[in-house]
A and B are shown apart, each in its own frame.
Chain A
Amino acid sequence: MQEALRFLSPDAEPLDNADFIEQARLARRGAEPASRGLPLTIRGLRKSFGDNEVLRGIDLHIPAGQFVAIVGRSGCGKSTLLRLIAGLESIDAGTIGFGEDTRAEDVRVMFQEPRLLPWARVLSNVEVGLGRDRASPDAQARAEQALTEVGLDDKRGQWPSVLSGGQKQRVALARALVSHPRVLAFDEPLGALDALTRISMQRLLERVWHDQAFTAILVTHDVSEAVALADRVLVIEDGRIANDITVDIPRPRRRGSADLAALEGSILRDLLKSADETSEQ
């Protein structure tokens, strides 16, 4: 079965991550390692584009190192919230605080599109992620290390155009990770990938989040992805947080397990119900 899966998707990592699973179990059981992540506090956040009020007052606290998934129907404002957190849009009202002063390198974003520079080799694309540290003497070593972390160290000299979609997205992940960010925001990072590549990328995301202990904010339209990865799922509807669900299913989580499916089902039902109500109005 595993062989078959690997055959179908060249990007798929080996599906049993026994080492990682063991590590995760140990980490959970023992004292929690001190998180490098930053806590995030949002108060009364509002944002409009023209007459269209996209976010209508968001209040939210994310503890350091938490993995939060934000789900909602398209146009609900989830991507806008992420862009505001990442500092890509200006805030109309309210505050976003990281608890302490941050450097630009502390907050990184990964998009649905890999956004690699087509004219730069894979390694220099990763070096872009170092920000102001690009000129430092260990820049190349750090970029190589980040590439190794996503399993692409053998592709360092390639042009992005020869990589597959999943590989490009892994390079984008290495670029986001290379500065060791303390908050990493994902905007539908797996939306354009095929199903098997998605699963292996989800495992990769979970692993790097576990290893590097940053605060992760994942915007996704895929509820099963949200419950599989996140500690907590926020449902956004009409620019407000409609539901805040803690996912206390122990890691490693088995995809397709009954608890995950039940949770996914209940979130989906809520989303669909509110969708029907809107359409009936």
Chain B
Amino acid sequence: MSLVELLPRVRSLRLPRVDGLIPWIVPLAIILIWQVACVGGFVPSRVLPAPTDVALAGWKLLLSGELVRNIWVSFWRAGIGFIIGGGIGFAFGLVNGLSQLSNKLTDTTLQMVRNIPHLALIPLVILWFGIDESAKLFLVALGVFFPIYLNTLHGIRTVDPQLVEMGRIYGMTDGELFRRVIFPGALPSIFVGVRFALGIMWLTLIVAETIAASSGLGYMAMQAREFMQIDVVVLSILIYALLGKLADSASRVLERLTLSWHPAFQK
């Protein structure tokens, strides 16, 4: 069999895989340039260690179990904080979206609180909770609360009133109306909030762990700084990038599953 005969088959096999790799070309190229710059001596290793050194540091930490433990601790804090803050934000968004009275009562207060940068509360939070788990959870929950609250509220407010009227004409009860019309209508907006919140979640957690923690990725990076282990510092930063991407991908998958009706998610 000649090469020419094989060619179309190979192409049809490979194309889909290549498609999935395209987003990773740029990060891989950056790492490659970085490696070349370090090995070639353009960048001193005190400023930036080579990717291979970073990988080696990661391997050592992985073997000692420290890496997994710290990632797990950070992951747990992020998740619990997200569930608490997101849950409360979602609940307030629902209630304020559905009830004028509740909205009048609480929205102004929430908007005032929203304008305080939540990281500015760190000194106060340390005074309240010390550096124990609740301090981190509190900050993450607070940071996550607002994007989810605002977008849930917005989503419910902007559900097509004609559809709501249609639901009422066809005899839907309040519960059915919520389940079949209002909630699905608000879902795209809620997902926008979730993706904002995921970004804020990591940001808050890392800052909180850097300042006040005795475990977690942020703590690992700060410890490494004390001992001038620049490879571990860079490793931590790369892990943040990967975790952030992971969270974003997870929310995209969820979006795709629940919004398959949406023209934007159809192929």
Contacts and interface: CB of A to CB of B under 8 A. Distances in A.
Interface of A: 86, 88, 104-105, 108-109, 111, 113, 115, 117-120, 128-129, 131-132, 159-162, 175
Interface of B: 162-163, 165-167, 169-172, 180-181, 184-185, 187, 259-263, 266
Contact of A129 (B170, B185, B260): B170
Contact of B261 (A108, A111, A159): A159
B170 A117 contact: no
Contacts of B184: 117, 119
Given A118-B261, A120-B180, A104 B266 contact: no
B162 A159 contact: no
A88 B169 contact: yes
A12 B170 CA distance: 28
Given A117-B163, A120-B180, A161 B263 contact: yes
Given A119-B184, A161-B261, A109 B266 contact: no
B163 A104 contact: no
A117 B162 contact: no
Contact of A113 (B162, B169, B171): B162
Contacts, number: 47
A18 B44 CA distance: 88
Going nearest first, the 4 A-B pairs with the smallest beta carbon separation are A131-B171, A119-B184, A115-B166, A119-B261
B170 A161 contact: no
Q: Name, among B162, B169, B187, B259, the residue most crowded by chain A CB atoms within 10 Å (CB to CB).
A: B169
B170 A131 contact: yes
B169 A109 contact: yes
Contact of A159 (B165, B167, B266): B266
Contact of A117 (B181, B187, B260, B263): B181
Contacts of A115: 162-163, 165-166
B176 to A, nearest CB: 9
16 contacts: A88-B165, A108-B169, A111-B162, A111-B166, A115-B165, A117-B181, A118-B261, A119-B187, A119-B261, A128-B167, A128-B180, A129-B170, A131-B170, A159-B266, A160-B261, A161-B266
Nearest to B160: A115
Contacts of B181: 117
Given A119-B261, A162-B266, 16 more contacts: A86-B169, A105-B171, A111-B162, A111-B166, A115-B163, A117-B163, A118-B261, A119-B184, A119-B187, A119-B259, A120-B180, A129-B170, A159-B260, A159-B266, A161-B266, A175-B170
With most chain A CB atoms within 10 A of its CB, the pick from B163, B170, B184, B259 is B170
Contacts of B259: 119
A76 to B, nearest CB: 22
A131 B259 CA distance: 25
A118 B258 CA distance: 12
Contacts of A88: 165, 169
Contacts of B260: 159
Contact of B171 (A86, A104, A109, A175): A104
Contacts of B166: 111, 115, 128
A119 B184 CA distance: 7
A162 B262 CA distance: 10
A113 B261 CA distance: 19
A119 B167 CA distance: 14
Given A111-B162, A159-B266, A161-B266, A120 B171 contact: no
B180 A117 contact: yes
Given A104-B171, A105-B171, A131-B171, A118 B162 contact: no
B170 A128 contact: yes
A88 B170 CA distance: 11
B183 to A, nearest CB: 9
A109 B165 CA distance: 11
Nearest to A108: B169
A161 B185 CA distance: 14
Nearest to B169: A109
B262 A118 contact: yes
A134 to B, nearest CB: 9
Nearest to B176: A134
A86 B170 CA distance: 11
B181 to A, nearest CB: 7
Contacts of A111: 162, 166
B173 to A, nearest CB: 9
Contacts of B187: 119
A111 B181 CA distance: 18
Contacts of A108: 169
A162 B265 CA distance: 12
Contacts of A104: 171
Nearest to A132: B171
Nearest to A129: B170
A105 B170 CA distance: 8
A161 to B, nearest CB: 5
Contacts of B167: 128
